[in-house]
Amino acid sequence: MDESEEIDFNSKSKIFVENKRSDCFDTGEELEKDLRKTAGDNGDCDLQCEKRESPKQELDAHIRQHAIQKLYNDPSFAVICSFFNKFAVFLGLKPQCFAKMENMFTSFHVTGKVDRDLIDLHLMLMRKLTFKSARLEVWEKYLLKFCSLVPSLETEYLQLERYGYLHTTAATKLAILKALCESQFDFNVKFKESLLNSCAASDLRLLPIGYDREGLAYLYQQDADLVIRIYSAEQDDHSGGSWNLVAKLVCFKSFRISVIKFINLIFCDYR
C-alpha cells in the first residue's frame, strides 16, 4: 500500500467497513446506488437489465450470500484462510485470496457439483501426506481414508461416508480441510524442513495486533488482493476455535488505504 495515498476518513470514499452491528456483510443497497449513479445521463439500460434478472438468478445469489455468511460464522474458515495465506508458498502454491476460497466453498449451491479447484486442493494436500496415489476419479475414497485416520474427524467420516462430500454440511467440509492443513505440520517432511529453514517460531502463528479492554485479541489478515479481514479471538487460543469476524475491508483498484488508519478506525469501537 502506498503511504502517499492516504485518505480522509471524513470524505465520501468508496470503502465498506462492516462490524458486528451489521453482521459483517453488505446489504446490497450501496451497490444499487452505485449502479444508479453510473447509469446517470447515459441511460439506465444496464440497471434495468439487472432488475430484470430471473427469479432463479436472484435466488442463487441469495443462497450463495447466505452460504458465505455461514462460512464466516465458522472459525475453521478463518484458520484455513490464514494457513494458505502464510504457508501456500511452502506447498508450491500461490496464496489463496479470500474471494477464491469463498467461491470454492459456495459455488456448489448453484452449480450442483464440487468446485474443481477445491478438489485439486484436497488432492494436493493428501498427496503431500501419505496418499501419493490419490487421483481425481476416486478422490472422495482417499478423503474417507484420511478421515478414518484422524480421531477428531469421526463425525465427519460418518457424514462423508453416508452423504458424500457434495451433500455434507459446510462445517464438515471446513473441519476436513482444516485437519488436512494441520496435518502438513506433522507428516509433510519437506514442508516441515522448509519452515525450519525459512521461518522463526514466531512466524508460524498469526500474532494479535492488539487487545481490547475485555481482553479479546484482534488478528489481522490481508490476502494477495489487498483485501483485509479483522478477527477477534480469546487470548491464548491456539486452535482458532474462538475466532470471530468483526470487520472486513473491500478495496477498489483505484483506491488504497493506510493500514494504520484502518486499524485505528476498527479499534475505536472496541477500546
DSSP 133-154: T--GGGHHHHHHHHHHT-GGGH
d(CA 71, CA 48): 32
In whole angstroms, how far apart are CA 74 and each of 17, 101, 116?
20, 14, 23
Domain ranges, residue 69: 14-32+54-267
Q: What is the pLDDT of residue 94?
A: 82
Residue 195's CB is within 10 A of a number of other CB atoms, namely: 19
Residue 60 resides in a domain: yes
Whether the model pTM is above 0.85: no
Percent of the chain with pLDDT over 70: 71
Q: Which residue has the cell 468508496?
A: 14
State the pairing for strand pair 217-222/228-233: antiparallel
Residue 187 resides in a domain: yes
Residue scoring higher pLDDT (36 or 152) = 152
For the chain, what is the largest distance between any 2 Cα atoms, rounded to a whole number of angstroms?
63
Q: What is the pLDDT of residue 60?
A: 77
Tell me if residue 10 falls in helix, strand or coil: coil
Residue 131 resides in a domain: yes
C-alpha cell at 192: 516441515
Contact (Cβ atoms closer than 8 angstroms) between residue 164 and residue 177? no
When pLDDT is averaged across residues 119-137 and rounded to a whole number, the result is 96
Give the number of domains in the chain: 1
d(CA 189, CA 148): 21
Q: What is the pLDDT of residue 14?
A: 37
When pLDDT is averaged across residues 143-156 and rounded to a whole number, the result is 97
Model pLDDT for residues 32-90, shown as the tens digit of each residue: 444 345 444 444 544 454 455 677 788 778 888 888 888 998 999 999 999 999 999 99
Residue 49 resides in a domain: no
Taking each helix axis from N to C end, the angle separating 116-127 and 98-106, rounded to the nearest 10 degrees, works out to 100
Residue 161 resides in a domain: yes
Residue 263 resides in a domain: yes
When pLDDT is averaged across residues 233-242 and rounded to a whole number, the result is 77
Residue 6 resides in a domain: no
Residue 144 resides in a domain: yes
Residue 105 has pLDDT above 80, yes or no: yes
What distance, in Å, lies between the first and last C-alpha atoms of the chain? Answer: 26
